[in-house]
Amino acid sequence: MFSSNQKVYFYDADPAGIIFFANLFKYAHVAFEDFIENIHPGKEYFTVEDSVIPVFHAEANYFNPIKVGDELRIDVSVSILKTSSFEMNYKIYKNQTQLAAEAKIVHVCVDKQSFKKTELPKDLYEKLKANLVLTG
């Protein structure tokens, strides 16, 4: 499992002093980028490939308020892997131990020009497969 550490800043908060709900996806995406860099350093999947992997579905559950100044640990795992798509799981802990939220984000590989579904690049598929965590 891969972990990314981030801090909550004032600009991420709503007037109540907790993160604006949508910013959880920003933290998850930063963790995703960190994860991709970790599994394949130097490989650019976001701009130079013939295919791209946009978000197809996203959901989150919030358990404890995340406040300005909280130090977050985001545990990242691949939970589902198919030939053209994959699901990433994110467990967001504040202050290292308190589960504050969970998110799931599904990415689908599409051709950059036509935006039609296509197979994941083989190297990416293999790297994701090596990080697949089955839950049951």
45 pLDDT band, cuts 50/70/90, is low
DSSP-assigned letters across all residues of 70-100: -EEEEEEEEEEE-SSEEEEEEEEEETTTEEE
pLDDT in tens, 97-135: 999 999 999 999 999 899 999 999 999 999 999 999 976
Residues catalogued as catalytic: 14
Q: What is the pTM of this model?
A: 0.91
**What is the radius of gyration, based on Cα positions, of the chain?**
16
In this prediction, residue 55 carries a pLDDT of 95
Assigned CATH for 2-123: 3.10.129.10
Contacts of residue 64, defined as CB under 8 A and 6 or more positions apart, other chains included, come to 94, 98, 99, 100, 101
In this prediction, residue 50 carries a pLDDT of 86
Q: Where are the domains of the chain?
A: 2-123
